[in-house]
A and B are shown apart, each in its own frame.
Chain A
Amino acid sequence: MSAHTMDISLTVNGEAVNERVEPRMTLVDFLRENLSLTGSHVGCEHGVCGACTVRVDGVVVRGCLMLAAQCEGAKVETIEGVSDNGEIADLQIAFEQRNALQCGFCTPAMLLTAQELLKAGGVPSRDEIREHISGNYCRCTGYHAIIDAMESVAQARAGGKK
């Protein structure tokens, strides 16, 4: 093994993954290039746009600001994983019903970010929702529809628990 490749073992969407990577490879490139999980998008590559958002060990992170090499032993979840297991099915339906997406480039990351806030429970205020998604750019919707969708899901989930 040269100084510039290394072997990593992690789980991605519940499946064990063993791959050889260059240390310089970011997590989002690893997911897209090595594992063909192209739902995580590459936008600005310096942490501003949020399109690369994925979950590592249960919390959302910027996939462009973490290296694949740092994910040894980690539990990584992507939009493909949370779509397939139904975790965010209600959010996905609400996004569609309320036109909370147009081109869809920001949507996978927006959904994961939304889910982190809603998973904490309760019904956040619209200001809290705005603040929580402030790190995810959407250039189509103007955000209002996204906030509507998140708010309605939070209300539905809270109502469902009664």
Chain B
Amino acid sequence: MKPAPFAYAKPRTLKEAIALLGKHKDNAKLLAGGQSLIATLNMRLSAPTLLIDLNGLKGLDRIARKGAKVEIGALARHVDVERSDVIAQYAPLIARAMPHIGHPAIRNRGTFGGSIAFADPAAELPACLLALDGEIEITGPKGKRTVKAETFFKGLFETAIGPRDVLTAIRVPAAAKDNRYGFSELSRRHGDYAIVGLAASARTTSKGLADVRLAFFGVDATPLRARKAETALTGGTIDDKRLNAAVAALDLDPSDDVQATAAVKKHLAGVLLKRVARQLLETRT
């Protein structure tokens, strides 16, 4: 199908973009990489009267370490995040997730901020931010504010971004020596949205793992932490018995979808938990 008619604006400044949002309210949509938005326009699942193309804004695509954090500009393209030395060194969980996002042609256009703002429940990056205790910078008419990933994802495709806001940056804590990460997903074809996926972070200590954060995706309306399984993996040696206990503690309640039944998803979540827990025990190079 073809999109319904709309007007097109390409503001030069963030201020201009926010003013346009204020003027056109819900009738306007922000266009970043367009890899989800244009598909929904083609399918006429969405019919805005104005597209505000953010690709003319300068300086929103930087990837840099800032003190104890790594900042990723909202317009950084997936391909640039995937190839970034800063990400490889200081945000290895994100580096690990990048090859799973779409296909090369999609990653050449799609943006990091776009994935977070769209908040597809089966997408990799929202779960990575949740696992990393990351934060999202939002710019609105009154200036900037920062929202923790924990409270940013509110429901199905619903986030803390208001109707006059633009997501401008993402920040995650820079990886320290004792941090450990794990990532795995199951999809029908490499690069497709996951049936189930898991992004995880932890700290290794002399007493076993601490600060375990398990963020599942594809199992609920938003990425979801499996807190009971986190507790089950905390402290002590992780052997098969502990892994089975963690799987048994998985408090997920997925629904059937076009890809798999709830029972299959739950089973696969357990498979992923075991794989990712082993990754958390590996020494990071």
CB within 8 Å of B: which of A66-84?
Answer: 66-67, 69-70
Q: A69-B8, A70-B55 are in contact. Are A131 and B190 (CB under 8 A)?
A: yes
Contacts of A50 in B (CB 8 A): 103, 105
In the complex, B242 has a CB within 8 A of chain A: no
Kindly identify, within residues 86 to 120 of chain A, every residue whose CB is under 8 Å from any CB belonging to chain B. Answer: 113, 116-117
Q: How far is the CB of A62 from chain B (nearest CB, A)?
A: 5
B172 CB to nearest chain A CB (Å): 26
Known: A24-B41, A47-B106. A134 touches B34 (CB 8 A): no
Say whether B39 contacts A47, CB under 8 Å.
yes
Closest to A6 in B: B8
Residues on the B chain within 8 Å of A117, using CB: 104
By a CB distance below 8 angstroms, the chain A residues around B131 are: none
Contact B39 A24 (CB under 8 A): no
In the complex, chain A residues whose CB is within 8 Å of the CB of B103: 50, 134-136
Interface residues of B in 1-22 (CB under 8 A from A): 1-8
Interface readout for B97-108 with A: 1 if CB under 8 Å, 0 if not? 001001111101
CA distance A23 to B50 in the complex (A): 10
Is B38 interfacial (CB-CB < 8 Å)?
Answer: yes
B-contact bits for A32-62, CB 8 A (1 contact / 0 none) = 0000000000000111001001000001111
Q: Which of B4, B6, B8, B34 contacts A66 (CB 8 A)?
A: B34
Q: In the complex, A34→B39 CA distance in Å?
A: 21
Known contacts being A4-B7, A131-B99, is A26 close to B104, with CB within 8 Å? no
- Please tell me if B241 contacts chain A, counting CB pairs below 8 Å: no
Q: Do B105 and A23 touch across chains, with their CB atoms under 8 A apart? A: no
Bitwise, B164-191 to A at CB < 8 A (1) or not (0) is: 0000000000000000000000000111
Q: Closest approach, in angstroms, between the C-beta of B170 and any C-beta of chain A?
A: 22
Please state if B108 and A64 are interface contacts (CB–CB under 8 Å): no
Pair A65/B5 contact, Cβ less than 8 Å? no
Contact of A67 among B38, B104, B106, B191 (CB under 8 A): B38
A22 contacts B by Cβ under 8 Å: yes
Q: Which residues from chain A contact B4 at a C-beta distance below 8 Å?
A: 24
Out of B79, B102, B104, B109, name the residue touching A113 (CB < 8 Å). B104
14 pairs, A vs B, C-beta closer than 8 Å:
A3-B7, A4-B6, A24-B2, A26-B38, A29-B2, A45-B43, A47-B35, A59-B105, A60-B104, A65-B109, A66-B34, A113-B105, A134-B189, A135-B106
Given A62-B35, A135-B191, 11 more A-B residue pairs with CB atoms under 8 Å apart are: A23-B8, A24-B41, A47-B38, A50-B103, A60-B108, A64-B39, A67-B34, A70-B34, A116-B104, A131-B191, A134-B189
